[in-house]
Amino acid sequence: MTDLSPLWSPQALEAATGGTLHGAPKPITGASIDTRSLQPGDLFFAIRGEARDGHDFVRDALSRGAGAAVVAADRAAEFSGAGAVLAVSGVSDDPVLDAMQALGRAARARSHAGIVAVTGSVGKTGTKEALRHVLSAQGPTHASVASYNNHWGVPLTLARMPADAAYGVFEIGMNHGGEIVPLTAMVRPGIALVTTVEPVHIEHFASLSAIADAKGEIFSGLRPGGTAILNRDNPQFARLLAHAQASAAGRVVTFGEHPEADVRASRIVLRPDLSVVDAVVMGIPVTYQLGTPGRHTAMNSLGVMAVVHALGADLALAALSLAALRPPVGRGERTALRIGEGEAFLVDESYNANPASIRAALATLAAIETGPRGRRIAVLGDMLELGATGEDHHRDLGGAVEAAGIDLVFTAGPLMRHLFEALPVTRRGTCGAASGDLVDPLLATLRPGDAVMVKGSNSIRMGRIVEALKARYANAGQTDPSQALAR
């Protein structure tokens, strides 16, 4: 939290959660479920995680300056003298999680902000960050941290929302059908956006249509008269439209390059370091520059502009703001690397991966100009949750590698081996069982003028390769590939 004014009074905490305070809390300026990132003044929720019970960390949280800790009523006595605790009871196995959800609903009930919910198979975090960026220039804006989009992250983000926020942007994710319904019911957005539907988490679904149905759940929480925003270019558009029309939405707004899209790109100019978009937003011509490159980012920016218009915010100011937008760490962050007397260029896409996002990342890498004798190098880790078709999805990336003109491919994981073996020998770098197996071969291979992109699913830990590259080669302080490699 950057706003250190109190979020909750002691009386409001008790009223919202039905709990009882023991001891006098410090001013509550934030909320946390993790002592590693806890800030002084945070309200610490001792929820039960998959591997740990938050009650084991209550004393640590209070010693670190937590304003108070929310604990199960039957365990409150354990923390006598450690600091203020809010003792709560609930109907589920985790009364603390129940209390966090209740506090989130109370935050939503008191808010007069324009609330936006974002989901999609690809691009939801980047779109959420773009909305945070453009709306922050127009009023106090609260948004999900990182990818806090699940049954813990959404109520925690709500509980952190200041009462005077002008805008709220919430990312909502899912791995299975039915997961979005309770989350969007808590957020109660006035605007709900689906970026796209792709074969992500496909092992948990019978078909791509089933994924579309799960994403379409976001419209079930729309406030009456709200706005549903859909990607007109996506093959699942008709299915999503049916969900929107069955909801309380007062209108449906579409975006894309489709001639019938309400927010339509008439021209997209892709450059190595940025994009330029000529668009028509609900009949209004708008031209803007995007500080993040890539066609996928440009397409999602149309969704951003649709949200801005639906909120009644300033389109011109939003268009200007997009020029300063930069990709988050792990989602396209760019770094110049000093190698001897020259430079190479790193694109960090290590946060996560699926077939659509890898294809988009390869296309972005293709647009980067290499230096003299430079090569385009893709370092790819397994894509997970693809079920029985996983091997095929990995092998099929060969066409995208060829289309992007990638010179060398390094792969990590047993699934990516299928891509590696499908590639011509001339394109093969190294195939490893784990991401750590690629570090030394890649460091030995990299030379001035190269452009390297790293991407893979979270659990494959491709970020360790990014860290190794940054540690070995001092950052040249340059983030523009056209400058970094034009030596």
pLDDT of amino acid 356: 87
Cα(332)–Cα(274) distance, rounded to whole angstroms?
12
Residue 191 above 80 pLDDT? yes
Lowest mean pLDDT among 1-15, 113-127, 258-272: 1-15
Mean pLDDT computed over 318-345: 88
Q: pLDDT tens-digit profile of 415-470?
A: 999 999 999 999 999 999 999 999 999 999 999 999 999 999 888 999 999 999 99
Is the distance from CB of 41 to CB of 30 less than 8 angstroms? yes
Cα(484)–Cα(374) distance, rounded to whole angstroms?
12
Sign of the CA dihedral running 197, 200, 206, 211: negative
Cα(452)–Cα(439) distance, rounded to whole angstroms?
13
Residues 6+ apart with CB under 8 A from 426: none
Residue 33 above 80 pLDDT? yes
Residues 6+ apart with CB under 8 A from 276: 267, 268, 269, 287, 288, 289, 290
- With a pLDDT cut of 90, the percent of the chain lying above it is 78
pLDDT of amino acid 475: 54
pLDDT of amino acid 388: 85
Q: What are the start-end ranges of the E strands in 283-324?
A: 284-290
Is the distance from CB of 230 to CB of 237 less than 8 angstroms? yes
Kindly report the pTM of this predicted structure.
0.82
pLDDT of amino acid 62: 98
Structure tokens, 446: 């990299």
Mean pLDDT computed over 367-373: 89
Residue 484 above 50 pLDDT? no
Residue 348 above 50 pLDDT? yes
Is the distance from CB of 475 to CB of 367 less than 8 angstroms? no
pLDDT of amino acid 56: 96
Residue 180 above 90 pLDDT? yes
| Structural domains of the chain, ranges and CATH numbers in brackets | 10-95 (3.40.1390.10), 111-322 (3.40.1190.10), 333-484 (3.90.190.20)
Q: pLDDT tens-digit profile of 381-409?
A: 999 888 888 999 999 999 999 999 999 99
Lowest mean pLDDT among 223-237, 354-368, 440-454: 354-368
Q: pLDDT tens-digit profile of 52-86?
A: 999 999 999 999 999 999 999 999 999 999 999 99
